[in-house]
Amino acid sequence: MSLLDQINSPADLRRLPVTALGDLAEEIRSRIIEAVSRVGGHLAPNLGVVELTIALHYVFDFAHDRLLFDVGHQCYPHKLLTGRAHLLEGLRTRAGMAGFPAPTESPYDLFAVGHAGTGISTAAGMARGDALSNEAFHSKHKPGGRRIVTLIGDASIVNGVAMEGLNNAGTLNRQFLIVLNDNGMSISKPQGAIAQYFDRLRLSHMYGGFKKGARRVLRRLPGGGLLQEAYHKLGEAAKALYAEDSWFEHFGLVTVGPIDGHDFPALLEFLTEARDFDRPMVLHVKTIKGKGLDIAERDATRFHSPAAFRLFTDPDGEPSTGCRVEVATGGRSFTTAFGDAMHDLMAHDPRTVACTAAMPDGTGLTRVLADYPDRAWDVGICESHAMDMMAGLAKTGYKPFFAVYCTFLQRAFDQAFQEVALQGLPVRLCLDRAGLVGGDGAVHHGFCDTALLRTLPGATLLAAMDELSLRAALEFMRTYDDGLSAVRYPRDHIDPRLADTPCPPFVLGKARVLTDISAESPEAPDVAILAFGSLAMQCLDAAASLREDYRVAVYDARFAKPVDAELIRELLTRGIPILTVEDHSIIGGFGAAVIESAAEQRLDASRIVRLGIPDAWIHQDSRNTQLVEAGLDAQAIARALRSLLDTPPAEPPPISTLREPKPGAAAPR
């Protein structure tokens, strides 16, 4: 039986001898590589934290102590050590384990986390809660109390929320350990002055020698430990041995490191000392992203979260040095199409600029950043800063495009309100991974962007259904200077069926008919579908399946703000029911905007039916499976059409049933 198969909980791990931990690490890496190669997922981040995660569970008892992840995509080794190895087979599906921490899976996962920067703040909250409940660890007064550890990495330390957390953590008067996993990478190469500081720190031979000398000195101190006794006995002189002018010291955090995050003796030694330290501390750990798989080490950005891939091995069956892979592809993605279109815009218009927040590969801007380094920027995991920077560029007369995952737009909504919309500035948002995102699950669904942005006066909201419409939307936005604009598109492959059909330009607030049947047809359609975004393709399939029984007009709505009020009026006044379809929350989305438009025009909205993401969390699985669950696949759309058409319109109530005014009340006008 393998070592991993013997571990049903961290208690089993702690029964292993230290000499076995290296073999266990190799088993965990092998299992993760095999699973991700089959179904895709976060590979390089997890390979880099195997030894660190084993050491944390070996030293601490997180059945009692608290471990909070900041970057949730580094949790696979943690899950394998906490009784979930049997779920790895179904990684990123409902039948297996989520790709991010999930409290519904295990009590060892304290928060479902998918957005970086939050771990220090939530850990500080739990630290304060335990202190208030008299459950907090103290080496003398409460040795059986709970310890707090938060693991932060992939350059999320530069996130604004992380900075706020650090500022508060320094005021804690108790044990509080921040483990900084410094792999020299974010999702891609980290950006900014702080990243450069860590680069200098890692490369400083003087610093490395200083740290080794500090350890030797501290070991010789009479009366005990490497950290605890030295800190209390020698005060400021001893603090200087922990870190050489550490950046974290300015937050009031004792800092140790960097240490080798793949060296079990060093990890265990320092974690054991840190475990009983009664002050907030940062343990700076240097790791290699993609450790143990040559191709992932050399190209950690590409293998941050790859699709399924085939790994070519040496004759002995082991991944070889210089091994190669073939990553599965299923067609041209919206992300690739956006990257190409954005590159063309940059070439065409010298006043066009672009920005991403740590996602150049994920948003398709890698080539733009390489070819236009003076007009395109990766600001790191700093969405709020990115939005404000784009506002500044707009104020100086440039045409800024901010490419961001739809789920991360939420982090910059305040800036979209204050610095963009309120100022009337034409910042252009390109919302990748809108709607249901598949294996990343609920933490990454882009389901509320329309509802949020619709509240902003002057905002203009678009959606793309295919590559040609995406290009047309971006061109519309390039020349639209009246305020904030945003286009949404999914994490999906592009349906090419209309690739040879001319795509008309976007005209503000106007929909595009996709079928021969339309509101203008001499013979009125039985029903009209207004589809916002890529689900227009499923709507075409649904309409085709009902062709023998019903005349169905399908529209690419194009705009959620402003909606096509004229089309809505024409359909409803002709008695044509409307089905709205969107890959967005049913609450506050495009369908809600259509109903509001009907109400504003004093039209009967009783024959408007909405389909969208239901008011419930939809967890990890394939995007197609999630669309079925949400009732947004072609078959469900067809069923909704039949139900709408088979339901007779409601008759207005007879006059006699109307409520009589109360005596003395004013008569209605």
- Strand 352-356 vs strand 325-327: parallel, antiparallel, or unpaired? unpaired
In angstroms, the Cα distances linking 629 to 37, 172, 517, 571, 624 are: 26, 45, 30, 30, 9
- Strand 352-356 vs strand 309-311: parallel, antiparallel, or unpaired? unpaired
CA 530 to chain centre: 28
- Using CA atoms, how far apart are residues 462 and 464, in angstroms rounded to an integer? 7
Length of the chain counted residue by residue: 669
The residue type at 285: V
**Position of tokens 């678009």?**
462
Per 3-state DSSP, the chain is made up of helix, strand and coil in percentages (nearest 5) of 40, 15, 45
Q: Which residues fall within 8 angstroms of residue 388, CB to CB, at 6 or more apart? A: 415, 419
User: Which residues carry out catalysis?
Assistant: 289, 383, 411
**Position of tokens 């080798």?**
260
What is the Cα Rg of the chain in Å? 28
Q: Residue 86 carries which DSSP code?
A: G
**Position of tokens 């649904």?**
542
Comparing CA positions, the residue from 231, 190, 470 lying closest to residue 333 is: 470
Helix 467-479 / helix 334-348 crossing angle, nearest 10 deg: 40
Q: Is 320 exposed, middle or buried (0-12, 13-18, 19+ CB in 10 A)?
A: middle
CB 114 within 8 A of CB 72: yes
